[in-house]
Amino acid sequence: WTSSTPSAGSRRVSAQMTTLNPLLSRNQQRTICSQLGNVKLKLLYKASIHGFTGAAFHQRCDYQAPTVSVGYNASGYVFGGYASQPFSQSGQYVNDNQAFVFSFTGGKLQKYPCTNAPNALLMQGNSGPNFGNVMILIHGNQPVTYSAPGNYYNFNAAEMHGNDLKLTECEVYQVEESTELDKPWRTVVWESGAELMESIKTYKPIISFMSQIRVLLIGQVGAGKSSFFNSINSVFRGHVTSQAIAGSSSTSLTTQFRTYSVNAGREGKPLPIILCDTMGLEDSKGAGLDVEDISSILKGHMLDCYQFNPAAPLHPESPGYQKSPAVKDKIHCVVYVIDASKVSIMPPKLEEKMEAIRRKVNLLGIPQLVLLTKVDETCPLVKEDLRNIYKSGYIKDLMQEVSVRVGVPLSCVVPVKNYSGELELDLSCDILLLSTVIQMLRFADNYFDDLGYQVCSAKYRDAY
């Protein structure tokens, strides 16, 4: 015979594995956070799951500070307190000049600061959060509130909890710094996928005799150059696909110079953009893409499927060297692909290579764009929802750092998430990818404008 009642140990395991869903609404969380600065709340303890006991509270919440403690009763009252100092079981009063208790009355936050900071918190082992022995959530290991306003916290009991002292729930949240900005610092229309796709399909270079622009992707091994092409291809195919070789490796999986044209659908016409993929950059000498090969690509001398040789860059006598490239063979926009998670640990030698490349690109007057990939792996706020990309202060700081390191304006840095492990398309992901292609087309137009090709198009028509 075995008992069907779960043991205490199994209940603890179950509680640990249970996903904690906050009872405090998003609006209530935002209201509390507005009193504390640029922060967010992380749920540490939920009495209905972990237990209405002092021991359960202290096990989850001791030495976690700052915290917001919240009680709920059957009368619909939501009330609690904020502590900037950590809880413990010392039995002593703790000084906290930032502590306050609060209640939500009619949807508004009523805040009552501590009037005697040295007695703001009391560390009792047999209770939950204790605010100066004036308000205690989970008193005497019972699901009740102890309320004695007047000493250290002056509040009206009827307004605070309606004199209903029986708790239906008690939660404790840890207050964490948040990178979320009040509003997005760039405007994105997250429902504009169809419009963006149509803009790309109908784009025509300002040079009448050209049908496609050429964009060169340059980046460190594993940054996501090939994955970017695969992702754009996936968006226009309507499902996740993989044509270019992509994956994780310490050395470049791309060993040839490849030019990829994307079709508008499985049997659709080619889009007006060709993405040129290169061997990955490496920081060690004689490894990865050679800077001299970059010059050959930029000027249109390198043909599709050229096999890179880091030890011997392409030269005029090499087989397949294109000696008289036309405008259509040259690069019209350069895109540096950078892994967001590796910006701070970019090797100095790699930065030197990128600087040498940038100088060559500048001399040729080619517009430059930076593609910041894997942003979802770098910022939890973005991982939670890709639409938070321009509300993340962390990502904005990262983009500013990349702007300085690469030497381009912040307006030339765009964040994306490539498709990697997904099996289905995601509209938010598509929007960022398509917006990046739009920027590439605009930058290519700038290239032609700067060289005066609109005026001199007839001169180059014969060369075409």
In the chain, where the domains are located: 8-177, 193-461
What is the tens place of the pLDDT at every residue in 102-142?
999 877 899 999 999 999 999 999 999 999 999 999 999 99
The per-residue pLDDT for 384 is 87
Separation between Cα atoms, residue 185 and residue 169, nearest integer Å: 38
The label of the residue with tokens 């997250």 reads 190
Question: DSSP of 351-392, one letter per residue?
Answer: HHHHHHHHHHHHHTT--EEEEEE-GGGT-HHHHH-GGGGGGB
Residues 6+ away with beta carbon under 8 Å from 71: 78, 79, 80, 137, 145, 161, 167, 169, 170
Contact 278, 253 (CB under 8 A): no
Orientation of helix 453-461 relative to helix 427-450, angle to 10°: 80
Separation between Cα atoms, residue 364 and residue 332, nearest integer Å: 10
The yes-or-no verdict on residue 458 having pLDDT over 60 is no
The yes-or-no verdict on residue 314 having pLDDT over 90 is no
Separation between Cα atoms, residue 455 and residue 15, nearest integer Å: 72
Residue percentage of the chain with pLDDT more than 70: 89
Tell me whether residue 104 is exposed, middle or buried, using C-beta atoms within 10 angstroms of its C-beta: 0 to 12, 13 to 18, 19 or more.
buried
Q: Which amino acid is at 180?
A: E
What is the tens place of the pLDDT at every residue in 332-373?
999 999 999 888 788 888 888 889 899 999 999 999 999 999
More confident residue, 87 or 209: 87
Contact 92, 123 (CB under 8 A): yes
Q: Which residues pair with 260 in a beta bridge?
A: 275
Question: Which two three-digit tokens encode residue 351?
Answer: 């930065």
The per-residue pLDDT for 1 is 34
Q: Which amino acid is at 57?
A: F
Q: What is the mean pLDDT of residues 261-270?
A: 87
Separation between Cα atoms, residue 338 and residue 219, nearest integer Å: 6
- Cα 112 to Cα 84, 106, 176: the distances in Å are 15, 16, 22
CATH number of the 193-461 domain? 3.40.50.300
Contact 399, 343 (CB under 8 A): no
Contact 139, 100 (CB under 8 A): no
pTM as predicted: 0.67
Residues 454-459: contacts with CB under 8 Å, at least 24 apart: 454/206, 454/207, 457/207, 457/208, 457/209
More confident residue, 51 or 450: 51
Separation between Cα atoms, residue 341 and residue 375, nearest integer Å: 7
The per-residue pLDDT for 271 is 95
The per-residue pLDDT for 254 is 58
Question: Which two three-digit tokens encode residue 384?
Answer: 């939670």
Contact 129, 44 (CB under 8 A): no
Q: pLDDT grade, residue 455 (50/70/90)?
A: very low
Question: Which two three-digit tokens encode residue 266?
Answer: 């499985």
User: Is the alpha carbon torsion for 412, 413, 414, 418 positive or negative?
Assistant: positive
The per-residue pLDDT for 288 is 65
Q: pLDDT grade, residue 456 (50/70/90)?
A: low
What is the tens place of the pLDDT at every residue in 189-204?
999 999 999 999 999 9
The yes-or-no verdict on residue 9 having pLDDT over 90 is no
pLDDT, the chain, mean: 87
The per-residue pLDDT for 255 is 76
Q: Which residues pair with 392 in a beta bridge?
A: 180
